[in-house]
């Protein structure tokens, strides 16, 4: 199996980076090939702009998704984007490893999503969800956050964490056709001691070992919708 | 009333920018003071990193939120961030005007949230939600997207749009104490004709005129939770 880990933490000594390092070591020990995109180390540019395009289908008016398709086909898409697209295309499992910022991904990772998951390759028209471009690949989020586990849930103060992560899990990963595995969430990590951290590391290792047996999250199936994407009547 | 519009579109001639321009004109005509942070025009840096800090509480290990507090108090926080904090502090109404990217905000706007909404000023400890730092201010999202309205809703393919926007509306704006008004959503805008666009502009104008009568979204109230943020039993 080929694994791509996209990592987005601004402190190389962080516990979040330790989870990334553990994933690399464990996956390699299990015989998998692992690539890492360490976005801070790469000085990744997260801004989707006209500067991403070496040519233009329409030089006078920027429609970002349209120019993504045009430039990828023309071979004029920015090289940093093409390199990431190639990494995703050759992986079987994509792991996004990040600290929760504002109940979402850090901007540097949002900009990886905005710029890399290009129209035409990852999705397009009705090629979304289980007909998306990444069919046959799996994806998983590995998230660390400051809150305690009891702060998340249907009746909890911040609500359900799966709901908070839905723009990522459904709206980005499943939308492109990835089979989305349950996320691994490390709670309260800035505040816990060494013993508790070892426990989180052990849980993370077990989650990764279970990658072939975890039940993927339920996502929309295109067969349930008509050609206008309206729900088909039972 | 003082209004701050944070705008995040990479095409100045876009329909999304026309909504921003209309908001500026309409709010000024109504006698309000309006400031605009046009993130693409400002070449806004969205990456939360050690480069934001002129001094360090801990030079050896970066905890971003901790250094936000330290540097703001020490007067050593990056000038671009301080300028935005000052704009938010003096506004009564914050409008975030953006195209939906991956069921979320574009990275350049996510990085405005990550870097500007600093710990200590906007939130901290139990100073969240209706006890957050921005109590007394209101906020509203103005969103354009490609999908049609029937693609959003409880039984629709992408689910409820309020749920998709929840990391922004609850997890960012309400979390800091803003009273969050219902978002304005312009559907299918890349594909509609001039007449339909005029209709969306008219709906947007009406939404802004109704700012004092719109019912704010329901958000967690701190009085319903104990000092560990567990729900109080009825």
| 3-class state of residue A115 by DSSP | helix
Work out the minimum CA distance from B190 to partner chain A, whole angstroms.
9
Q: For residue B147, give the nearest of B96, B208, B192, B106 by alpha carbon.
A: B192
| Cβ within 8 Å, pair B102-A170 | no
Q: Is the pLDDT of residue A142 over 90?
A: yes
Residue B234: pLDDT band by 50, 70, 90 thresholds?
low
Neighbours of B201 (CB within 10 A): 15
**Tokens for A93?**
């499992």
Model confidence over B151-210: pLDDT tens digits?
999 999 999 999 999 999 999 999 999 999 999 999 999 999 999 999 999 999 999 999
* Residues of B in Cβ contact (< 8 Å) with A230: 150
Interface of B with A in 3-22 (CB under 8 A): 10-11, 13-14
Q: Could you tell me if residue B75 is left (phi over 0), alpha (psi between -120 and 50 degrees) or otherwise beta?
A: left
Q: What is the mean pLDDT of residues B106-117?
A: 98
Give the model's confidence band at B6: pLDDT under 50 very low, under 70 low, under 90 confident, else very high: very high
Alpha carbon B144 to its chain centroid, in Å, reads: 14
Residue with tokens 């909504």: B19
Give the integer Cα–Cα distance in Å for B153 and B163: 9
Question: For chain B, what percent of residues have pLDDT higher than 70?
Answer: 100
Mean pLDDT for A169-173 is 98
Mean per-residue pLDDT, A133-145:
98
Measured torsion, CA atoms of residues A39, A130, B191, A111, in degrees rounded to the nearest 10: -10
C-alpha–C-alpha distance, residues B155 and B29, integer Å = 41
DSSP letter (8 states) at residue B194: H
Average pLDDT, chain B: 97
Which of B10, B43, B154, B189 to probe by mutation at the A interface, max A CB count within 10 Å? Answer: B10
Residue B177 near residue B129 (C-beta atoms within 8 A): yes
The Cα–Cα gap between A231 and A224 comes to 6
Gap between the terminal Cα atoms of chain B: 39
A10/B64 touch (CB, cutoff 8 Å), yes or no: yes
d(CA A74, CA A6): 27
Alpha carbon distance A129, A135 (integer Å): 8
Q: What is the mean pLDDT of residues A16-45?
A: 98
Is a pLDDT exceeding 90 seen at residue B117? yes
Q: Do B46 and A50 touch (CB under 8 A)?
A: no
Cβ burial, residue B218 (10 Å; 0-12/13-18/19+): exposed
Residue B19 is encoded by which pair of tokens? 């909504």
A104/B104 Cβ within 8 A? yes
Q: Which two structure tokens, joined as six digits, stand for B155?
A: 């039984």
DSSP-derived secondary structure for B8-36 = --S-TTSHHHHHHHHHHHHHHHTT-EEEE
Cα distance between residue B215 and residue B227, in whole Å: 29
Q: Is B38 exposed, middle or buried (0-12, 13-18, 19+ CB in 10 A)?
A: middle
Shortest CB distance from A46 goes to which of B10, B47, B50? B47
Residue A194 predicted with pLDDT over 70: yes
Query: Could you tell me which residues are beta bridge partners of residue A77?
Result: A53
Chain B CA closest to residue A190: B63
Residue A11 CA, distance from chain mean position: 20
Give the mean model confidence (pLDDT) for residues A131-152.
Answer: 97
pLDDT tens, residue by residue, A72-120: 999 999 999 999 999 999 999 999 999 999 999 999 999 999 999 999 9
d(CA A127, CA A111): 22
State the Cα–Cα distance between residues A71 and A53, nearest whole angstrom.
6
Residue A234's pLDDT band (cuts 50, 70, 90): low
Between helix A107-116 and helix A79-90 the angle, nearest 10°, is: 80
Q: Are B29 and B21 in contact (CB under 8 A)?
A: no
Which chain B positions have a beta carbon within 8 Å of A167's beta carbon? 102-104, 164, 167
Residue B163: its H or E element: helix B161-164
SS3 A222: helix
DSSP 8-class letter at A105: -
Answer yes or no: do A151 and B40 touch at CB < 8 A: no
CB contact under 8 A, A107 and B107: yes
Task: Categorize the per-residue pLDDT at B69 as very low, low, confident or very high, splitting at 50, 70 and 90.
Answer: very high
Residue A233: what pLDDT? 76
Interface predicted TM-score of the whole assembly (ipTM), two decimals: 0.97
Give me the pLDDT at residue B125, please.
Answer: 87
Q: Residue ranges of the alpha helices (H) in chain A?
A: 15-29, 64-74, 79-90, 107-116, 161-164, 166-168, 194-209
**pLDDT of A36 above 70:** yes
Q: Do B101 and A114 touch (CB under 8 A)?
A: yes
Cβ under 8 Å to A: B residues 69-98: none
Domain definitions of chain A by residue range: 2-224
Homologous superfamily in CATH for domain A2-224: Flavodoxin domain (3.40.50.360)
Burial profile A44-59: b = 16 or more Cβ within 10 angstroms, e = fewer: bbbbbbeebbeebbee
Chain A CB contacts of B171 below 8 Å: 102-104, 158, 164
At residue B200, the pLDDT reads: 98
Q: What is the CA angle A128-B104-B199, rounded to 5?
A: 90
What is the DSSP code (8-state) at residue A216?
Answer: P
Residue A53's beta-bridge partner residues?
Answer: A77
Whether the CB-CB separation of A134 and A45 falls below 8 Å is answered with no
Interface of A with B in 34-63 (CB under 8 A): 40, 46-50, 61-63
Instruction: Report the SS3 class of residue B188.
Output: coil
What is the CB neighbour count within 10 angstroms for residue B73? 12
Average pLDDT in the B123-150 region? Answer: 97
């Amino acid at each position: 199996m080929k694994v791509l880990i996209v990592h987005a933490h601004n402190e190389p000594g962080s516990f979040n980076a330790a989870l990334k390092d553990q994933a690399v070591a464990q996956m390699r020990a299990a015989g998998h090939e692992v690539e890492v995109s360490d976005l801070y180390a790469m000085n990744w540019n997260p801004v989707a702009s006209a500067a991403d395009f070496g040519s233009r289908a329409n030089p006078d008016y920027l429609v970002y998704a349209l120019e993504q398709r045009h430039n990828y086909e023309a071979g004029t898409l920015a090289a940093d984007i093409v390199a990431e697209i190639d990494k995703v295309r050759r992986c079987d499992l994509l792991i996004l490893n990040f600290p929760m910022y504002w109940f979402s991904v850090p901007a540097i990772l949002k900009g990886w999503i905005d710029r890399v998951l290009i129209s035409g390759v990852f999705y397009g028209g009705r090629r979304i969800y289980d007909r998306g471009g990444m069919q046959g690949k799996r994806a998983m989020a590995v998230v660390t956050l400051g809150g305690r586990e009891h702060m998340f849930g249907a009746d909890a103060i911040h609500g359900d964490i799966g709901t908070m992560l839905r723009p990522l899990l459904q709206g980005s990963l499943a939308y492109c056709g990835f089979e989305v595995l349950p996320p691994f969430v490390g709670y309260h990590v800035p505040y816990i001691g060494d013993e508790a951290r070892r426990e989180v590391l052990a849980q993370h290792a077990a989650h990764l070992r279970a990658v072939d047996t975890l039940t993927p999250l339920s996502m929309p199936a295109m067969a349930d919708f008509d050609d206008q994407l309206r729900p088909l009547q039972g």
